[in-house]
Structure 1
Amino acid sequence: MLLTQISFSQSKTATNTKELTNIRQLNDSLKAVDSPELRTIKPLTDSSSASLLKKKNNSDSTAKKYVVIDSVNVKISKDSLDAPVNYTASDSGVLEIRNKKFYLYGSASTKYSSMNLTSSVIEIDNSSNTAKAYFTRDSTGKVLERPKLIDGEMETESDSMFYNFKTRRGLTKSTYTKQGEMFVYGERFKKINDDEYFGARARFTTCNLDTPHFAFKSNKVKLINKKWAFTGMVFPEFESVPLPIGLPFGIFPLSTGRHSGMLAPRFTTTQTFGIGLEGLGYYHVLSDHFDILTRANIYSYGGYSINVSPTYRKRYKYQGALRLDYNVTKINFKGDPDFSKTKTFNVTWSHTNDSKKRPGTAFAANVNFGSSRFNRLVANNNALNFTNKTNSSISYSKTANDGSSNLSITANHSQDNNLGRYDISLPNVNYTLNTLYPLKKRESVGESKWYEKLGIGYTGSLQNRFTFFTQSATDTTVAAYHRKMSLGEILDTMQWGATHNIPITLALPAMGAIQLAPSISFQEKWYGSKFSRSWNGQKVDTLIEKGFYAAREMSFGLSANTAIFGTFNFGKNKRIQAIRHVIRPSIGLTYKPDMNRNSYYTTQIDSLGRTARFSYYEGSVAGAFGEGKFGGLTFGIQNNLEMKVRDKNDSTNENATKKVKIIDNFAITSAYNLMADSFALSPFNIIIGTSLFNNVNITGSTTLNPYKVDRFGRQINEYMFSEGKLGRITNGSLSFSTSFKSKQGSDNKNKQTGTTGQDVDRIITPEEQQRELDYIRNNPSEFADFDIPWSVNVGFSMNFSRTMKADYSGFQTNFYSSVNLNGDFNFSPKWKMGGNTFLDVKTMKVGSLSLFVSREMHCWQMSINVTPIGIYRSFNITISPKSGILRDLKINRTRQFYM
């Protein structure tokens, strides 16, 4: 049934018959044009249908409205379409009514359903429902507006196109299309349906030039849009020169999202492992929320490694990744004097949840647990080879809805790969009750009274820990001393401890610029073990007694602090206009009674009869309280220094200024015990930190002990001040880092950047990020940025401490410092050289050194990586496409040497 509403005006003398005649005449003229858009108006072919013409009353007698309802079955023309066709043209349009053809000239466009055809010239044949498109040339012979067809997700550009609106099939000549990172060209392409195309004499490449540097050619091809391309015999060519070697068929992935498939291996040869295939694997997508990656390395000497990496995700809820590694490392052939076989494993797991899903509840995991020799035996990864300590943590926390309390449960692990030592701590429970104000009124008007600011809180923790050793320690002496332990021996090392802390605070009204704050603190610790040390005539023995033990401590304090500001002005016309110095001194009076005198004892430590004081709880999980009472002063001073300079970069305001930090923080703290008969002055703790010019980061800390020591390094009650010295530096740390780089070169928008082909929606877990960073760090030449002519990064770290020797014969200084340096530079627009190194300052030995050379070749890149120093010394040269979709198509030569 066809329903058409028509509105028009007429004079009072008009008749109904004349109105219907006008409608028929209008229909006849529209039928001659035969436009699909105008066929929606149908004539009344039967006079009996006039009874269906219903006249409606209207207040205006000069206007009449009619509703025409045609209930007669109308035969639709065979050449009609299911959707309108829209035409536009900037120049002109010519309509041939007799031949039913329509010509469009100049930026012509035809839209039908999901199809959009644009060209310089378009010819529409209404009788056959076809469209033809061609390009034109200007007076100089330049091609103007090549035909472009967008049909669904398929976009093509050709010399000429033929398209049938009804069958949705088409034929194109000299066609270009882009599928993900792949550029496809074919002399002829036939469109079969919305997704399938057949082509003749096609070319595949990832080079975006009209004449690509390389390509794969085939006479026959089947293309499934955004998924796959299958070819017959395929031949590679470089610089338009075909190679005589071909493949019987070709399969090209064109999809940009996740999809299952094989992972091509990399061929390598090493002196220690033999000939091998690395990275052979399979990636399988199980669902939108779960996938799994399996890889394997196989070597001719018999070694192999397998890793399985499943990942999971639930958008707006959680995400995580698991990686299981198992390695069987065989160095040299069996029977060789240097033959060795080692089995290692490693497990990593990372998990995070979205805090918006369950506010106040959080669960996170970052696990890295495995054999102590696993990192050392990973080939061609200096960063991992020198990682001697790894840590793991799993945590769950819950915050009350009103924010008054917080509960957290954690499990931690740390291991020293050099010593083969594993420390496991689980479960650890922490509970915090935020400060309560019991004297504060529920409904108060105006400012609160001073006593209403009395607050009381609570913090409690429970820790459990056990330790074990393995025989795979790199230090054979340590490994022999710490032999492999049985399960019973591991359980014997288990310790537990609990801590309770109740702070009481009161904020008094400010006394001018001085703020006073009294406080009371009560702390109690519970222990599951007690340690008793005694001299057996040759060495100190330690006896561990299991049970329940407790110790407590209480302190009272009153602190005062203020701030002093000073500014030195140089004048607004100066480059440096002012320097501002902020001093924040603080002083406190503290009293702590000696509640732990019974927890300390004296024992002999050597054959000379020297003695030392120990706590029964020294070395426990909760830690021991200090000995003796304290009644004295705590004092400190904090400094901040910054200057105001004229901002030359602000061109809009010549008087614009900016702040530059000179010293972010410089603080000194100490204490003096008025109740002690010796060693009353506590060591001075000094901290400094600054970020000069927003580019140089410096942080440092040290401890100055004001007392002298004897020849054994033991402290005596005499000040260093008597010798004109402030004190002895007992420990400290200093770190320095900065980076410099030249300005970025010109931005070439048409430059082929060599994308990775990674889906932007892909969820990257911290473990995946770290492994990608490791790959970049060990293969810097593959990621060289030629737009930055040069860059340098420098880092220095140093720390030292004074600790007592294991036999209690004196003190020893543990010192460690290192320098990290990496950088690169362009010695031509297409050549870049760089490297990174690590220097142990104590031994003045280079721990690692890696050098690289990279050559920019537009869509290809050549990289050379050399590692002449380290556990694994290697050399490799790689020539590979930049495109991530063809990253496994590379020419690679690798040599590795295990030291």
Structure 2
Amino acid sequence: MRSKPFIILSAVGVMVVAMASGAMPSPDKRLTGKKADTTQTDSSRIKGLQADDAATDTTGMDSLQLAVYHHNKAVDDSLRLDSINRKKKNGIDAPVTYQADDSLVYMASSNTAHLYGSAEVKYENMDLKSDKIKLSLDSSLVHATGSRDTTATDGIKGKPVFVMGQDTYDTDTMSFNFKTKKGFIKHVYTKQEDGFLTSEQSKRNDNGEIYLAHGRYTTCDAPHPDFYIALSRAKVRPGKDVVFGPAYLVVADVPLPFAIPYGFFPFTKSYSSGFIMPTYGDESSRGFYLRDGGYYFAMSDKWDLKLLGEIYTKGSWGFSAASNYKKRYKYSGSFLFSYQDTKTGDKGMPDFSEQKSFKLQWSHRQDSKANPYSSLAASVNFASSKYERNNLTSVYNPQSLTQSTRTSSVSWSTTFSSIGLSLSSSANLSQNMRDSSIAMTLPDLNISISRFYPFRRKHQVGDEKWYEKISMSYTGQLSNSINTKEDKLMHSNLIKDWKNGMQHNIPISGNFTLFNYINISPSFNFTDRMYTSKVTRSWDEATQEEVRDTTYGFHNVYNWNLSLSANTKLYLFAIPSRKIFGDKIQAIRDVITPQISFSYAPDFGASRYGYYQTYQKTDADGNVSLVEYSPYSDQLYSVPGKGKTGSISMDLANNLEMKIKSDEDSTGYKKISLIDELGASMSYNMAASYHKWSDLSMRLRLKWWKNYTFNMNAVFATYAYDLDENGKPYVGNHTEWGRGRFGRFQGMSQNISYTLTPEKIAKLFGGGSDDEKDNKSKDNNDDDDEGIDTDINSNVDDEMVKAQNGAKKKSGGGKASTDDDGYMRFSMPWSITFGYGITMRENTSGKFNYKSMRYPYSFSQTLNMSGNLRISDGWNISFSSGYDFDNHKISMTTASLQRDLHCFNMSCSVVLAPYTSYNFTFRCNAATLTDALKYDKRSGYSNAVQWY
């Protein structure tokens, strides 16, 4: 007779259960399941029974007794096998660990355990936590639920949390089988990468896949999401993807009429291929379009490939291929090729036109760790002149339309440090988008040897000799270039159309000290040019035109010059009168730096050099004249200039500082800059026949304000105006000094910029301490950089949208912070930058004043203003504008507004002048849905709105 079980409760989670039958669970809270018995096969168990039969002695039994024995034995063996199979069926593969903070109840009749209060059950890599757990030891089933609690948010506390591997599931009710690893979940909530999944009912199979019914998918992390995609049914492969059936979009609990029959969301962290959704819209000249749609190929973790296409209803089409590549510690880069076939108008009509254009971009960067002695870099940005006009993206970027020059380069360099040799090669291309002209150099090879001292002793003994201070270096350049039009580049002749040559430059210099105070620096520079052709010119009297004859061969052209400079420093000290200035000012120091230099070069236009030649020209009227030319004027490195040069240059710089006692430290001193630099320079050309003196240039630099430097440059003309026989003014040979006047003021230019912020205003009016203002300024600057597009030129480009979507969101879901009383803190960070420039020049086209012998002065001014404003958390405004004083109207004005809607991002950009356009974008912040949930509205170039 079996007795009923009785229960002992424990408040500390230690299991203490006793039964009259003597069946007690393991005191260490583990159920082993007799794993050793379940590992035996049926054949081994039958062999064991046969062994038992062999051990039984049946000698002396008659036939009836033997038959009864075998019958009973068969029944007994059958019962024993059923017991063994039953143990195998109900067995588990690993220990199950379980505990509870409140109590544990074990029911011997049903072989179940009930756990209460922060219960937890662990099995292999599975972990289940809940307030109430029911564990069936026979069927390996576990059932978990929460407990009612009026203090909880939803009335339930301790809801089940199931963790298996790296996946976590928050549920209301859960049932799970340890052996089959299958389960049933109600109201599951799980995170997969950037998305969150919920469902009313879910089933989990033994592979970890979850089947959902009436589910929701969203990237919003709020408890009540701003939006979600309602899924009728779905299959979730954790860490891989979600495949779903009919689904529709719900925003702010309002179902929208946007439904799809099926779809999927990838979750994999590794690279994966997939389709790219196109953007639709309309453009007046080309019709409706689908653009930027295609396929993304995840080739490997080192490079990828993106193929995009676009098509218009009026026949235009285009495609592009983009790739990114990177090898760690080696190199990285990107490549883009785009082709467009643009058709406007109707085919067969006079206004029909077709234009084909392309664009090529390549960027390559080598890691400095890859090779410290060799590097390869590329920055290629080439596009046909028609591409930007036909490309729809350029319509919203005024910088692309106004950009007149594009440059591209590919360079390679290597160094041989042991001998100081550097070798570099590059290919350069400059493209003028206005007239489609191209200047290309391929290749441009440079060889250089760093400075060395040929006369310096390897093992120096005693003082250094004067000749050991002589140094020299070498630079060589080999180039091949062409200047042509875009459509003629591929049809050019390498010998006739391309220019090539080699140039050598050898500078020799020294540095000596004279009388211990004067620094003397002589130098000699030799330049040699090697050309493979020259052009001889003559005059054809019959056709009355110049005839050119190109001869090919080796031609050498060289020139040289020498120079000598001397400089020193003079220090002047002055101690102010203590009776007048007191002890505050310690001393005033004036540093004067005079410098004089001399340069000389012979006349390489002399006939003995052969760099210049003449031919006789006889025009149709019989007039004869000599025309001078150089056979090398059209060559790559040109030709040395004519005329002997011999000039003396003088420069005088002055620096004035004052040393005063520090207010913070009674024993310390500090320096104050009164005049950071006041200088003047002038030169005298000994070889010139007239106007030997140059104009006087003066410069002034002041550092009176913190973080601001005032610079001003001015020019004073040396020679005065005279009047010719017709009374018209011209620059004569008489100096202004000879007439008792200072040099004629030619003009000056000055640029001033200042950024105004609330912190600077508070500092001007003495608000707050310096430490608080500095910290606040730093915090606000960090906040201002968050989610604000300060690059005005990109406000109408796709890059702006990408940058705004990638902006880091503030913690708290964009909610404004509050003070201790619960009121919202007032914070509106802003900054405005003003830029003003003024240029004063002598206006030689104005009316001349014969009394003062002066022309009037003209002024040109520029005024620019840009800034940004954060109205509140999530609201950002930036703008840029200016005023054109010459045309008396507003210059290019752009503005952009961005709104962070927690899960979505809204941005609007507008360009008011000179190219008017607008751009509105609304898209999801999550990278998974950024291309799926978006709305773009843009103006076209041809139908741009005009505002007055």
Q: Is the 8 A contact 2:788 2:804 kept in 1?
A: no
Q: Is the 8 A contact 2:596 2:650 kept in 1?
A: yes
Aligned pair partner of 2:599 in 578, 583, 590: 590
Matched, 1:374 2:390: no
Q: Is the 8 A contact 2:719 2:743 kept in 1?
A: no
SS at match of 2:389: helix
Matched, 1:896 2:902: no
SS at match of 1:383: helix
What residue is the counterpart of 1:775 in the other structure? 798
Q: What amino acid does structure 2 have at the position aligned with 1:890?
A: K
Residues 783, 311 of structure 1: alpha-carbon distance in 2 compared, 3 angstrom cutoff: closer
Tell which deviates more after alignment, 382-391 or 819-828: 819-828
Residues 261, 717 of structure 1: alpha-carbon distance in 2 compared, 3 angstrom cutoff: farther
What residue is the counterpart of 2:565 in the other structure? 559
Residues 875, 559 of structure 1: alpha-carbon distance in 2 compared, 3 angstrom cutoff: closer
Alpha-carbon distance, 1:254 to partner: 3.0
Aligned partners of 2:97, 2:709: CA distance in 1, in Å? Answer: 64
Q: After superposition, what is the alpha-carbon deviation per residue over 1:634-684, rounded to whole angstroms, capped at 9, x for unaligned?
A: 343567799999999x9xx99999999999988765543345543433566
Q: Is the 8 A contact 1:754 1:882 kept in 2?
A: no
SS at match of 1:492: coil
Q: After superposition, what is the alpha-carbon deviation per residue over 1:836-879, rounded to whole angstroms, capped at 9, x for unaligned?
A: 457766555667544444444332344333345455x4444443
Aligned pair partner of 1:500 in 501, 504, 512: 504
SS at match of 2:225: coil
Residues 29, 827 of structure 1: alpha-carbon distance in 2 compared, 3 angstrom cutoff: closer
Alpha-carbon distance, 1:87 to partner: 6.5
What residue is the counterpart of 2:556 in the other structure? 550
Residues 519, 891 of structure 1: alpha-carbon distance in 2 compared, 3 angstrom cutoff: closer
Q: After superposition, what is the alpha-carbon deviation per residue over 1:56-102, rounded to whole angstroms, capped at 9, x for unaligned?
A: xxxxxxxxxxxxxxxxxxx998877666666787x567585965748
Aligned pair partner of 2:250 in 234, 237, 247: 237
What residue is the counterpart of 2:690 in the other structure? 678
Matched, 1:461 2:477: yes
Tell which deviates more after alignment, 547-556 or 664-673: 664-673
- Unaligned runs of at least 5 residues, structure 2: 1-22, 38-85, 760-776, 815-826, 843-858, 944-948
Residues 511, 155 of structure 1: alpha-carbon distance in 2 compared, 3 angstrom cutoff: farther
What's the C-alpha RMSD, in Å, of the aligned pairs? 5.6
Q: Which is greater in Rg?
A: 2
In the TM superposition, what are the counterparts of 1:111-126 in structure 2 within 5 Å? 113-119=124-130
Alpha-carbon distance, 1:276 to partner: 1.4
Aligned pair partner of 1:882 in 925, 929, 933: 925
Aligned pair partner of 1:434 in 426, 447, 450: 450
Q: After superposition, what is the alpha-carbon deviation per residue over 1:338-369, rounded to whole angstroms, capped at 9, x for unaligned?
A: 54432211211122222322220111111122
Q: Is the 8 A contact 1:183 1:204 kept in 2?
A: yes
Residues 853, 164 of structure 1: alpha-carbon distance in 2 compared, 3 angstrom cutoff: same
What residue is the counterpart of 1:141 in the other structure? 152
Matched, 1:196 2:209: yes
Residues 627, 338 of structure 1: alpha-carbon distance in 2 compared, 3 angstrom cutoff: same
Alpha-carbon distance, 1:396 to partner: 1.0
Q: Is the 8 A contact 1:377 1:385 kept in 2?
A: no
More strand by share: 1
SS at match of 1:342: strand
Matched, 1:858 2:914: no
In the TM superposition, what are the counterparts of 1:60-99 in structure 2 within 5 Å? 91=101, 94=104, 96=106, 99=111
Residues 315, 697 of structure 1: alpha-carbon distance in 2 compared, 3 angstrom cutoff: farther
Alpha-carbon distance, 1:527 to partner: 3.6
Alpha-carbon distance, 1:529 to partner: 5.1
Residues 263, 794 of structure 1: alpha-carbon distance in 2 compared, 3 angstrom cutoff: farther
Q: Is the 8 A contact 1:31 1:39 kept in 2?
A: no
Alpha-carbon distance, 1:726 to partner: 3.9
In the TM superposition, what are the counterparts of 1:10-29 in structure 2 within 5 Å? none
Matched, 1:622 2:637: yes
Residues 486, 151 of structure 1: alpha-carbon distance in 2 compared, 3 angstrom cutoff: closer
Aligned pair partner of 1:319 in 324, 332, 335: 332
Matched, 1:353 2:338: no
Higher relative contact order at CA 8 Å, sep ≥6: structure 1 or structure 2? 1
Q: What amino acid does structure 1 have at the position aligned with 2:30?
A: S
Residues 353, 869 of structure 1: alpha-carbon distance in 2 compared, 3 angstrom cutoff: same
Matched, 1:790 2:830: yes
Alpha-carbon distance, 1:180 to partner: 2.4
In the TM superposition, what are the counterparts of 1:657-676 in structure 2 within 5 Å? 670-674=682-686, 676=688
Aligned partners of 2:662, 2:297: CA distance in 1, in Å? Answer: 56
Residues 194, 706 of structure 1: alpha-carbon distance in 2 compared, 3 angstrom cutoff: farther
Tell which deviates more after alignment, 544-553 or 236-245: 544-553
TM-score normalised per structure 2: 0.69
Alpha-carbon distance, 1:152 to partner: 2.8
Alpha-carbon distance, 1:37 to partner: 8.9
Q: Alignment identity in percent?
A: 28
Aligned pair partner of 1:825 in 869, 874, 883: 869
Aligned partners of 1:794, 1:460: CA distance in 2, in Å? Answer: 46
Q: What amino acid does structure 1 have at the position aligned with 2:523?
A: S
- Unaligned runs of at least 5 residues, structure 1: 1-27, 43-74, 472-483, 757-769, 803-814
SS at match of 1:290: coil
Q: After superposition, what is the alpha-carbon deviation per residue over 1:93-125, rounded to whole angstroms, capped at 9, x for unaligned?
A: 75859657484744x666655445455566666
Q: What amino acid does structure 2 have at the position aligned with 1:790?
A: W
SS at match of 2:798: helix
Q: After superposition, what is the alpha-carbon deviation per residue over 1:153-182, rounded to whole angstroms, capped at 9, x for unaligned?
A: 323323344444444444433222222222
Residues 746, 621 of structure 1: alpha-carbon distance in 2 compared, 3 angstrom cutoff: closer
Alpha-carbon distance, 1:319 to partner: 2.0
Aligned partners of 2:145, 2:674: CA distance in 1, in Å? Answer: 68
Residues 629, 134 of structure 1: alpha-carbon distance in 2 compared, 3 angstrom cutoff: farther
SS at match of 1:452: helix
Equivalent pairs counted in the alignment come to 796
What residue is the counterpart of 2:357 in the other structure? 344
SS at match of 2:168: strand
Q: What amino acid does structure 2 have at the position aligned with 1:35?
A: R
What residue is the counterpart of 2:259 in the other structure? 246
Aligned partners of 1:662, 1:617: CA distance in 2, in Å? Answer: 53
Tell which deviates more after alignment, 114-123 or 210-219: 114-123
What residue is the counterpart of 2:421 in the other structure? 405
Alpha-carbon distance, 1:408 to partner: 0.5
Q: After superposition, what is the alpha-carbon deviation per residue over 1:725-756, rounded to whole angstroms, capped at 9, x for unaligned?
A: 646869x9877666555678999x99xx9999
Aligned partners of 2:287, 2:675: CA distance in 1, in Å? Answer: 56
Tell which deviates more after alignment, 202-211 or 594-603: 594-603
Aligned partners of 1:755, 1:176: CA distance in 2, in Å? Answer: 34
SS at match of 1:597: coil
Aligned partners of 2:788, 2:271: CA distance in 1, in Å? Answer: 16
Alpha-carbon distance, 1:628 to partner: 3.4
Q: What amino acid does structure 2 have at the position aligned with 1:517?
A: S
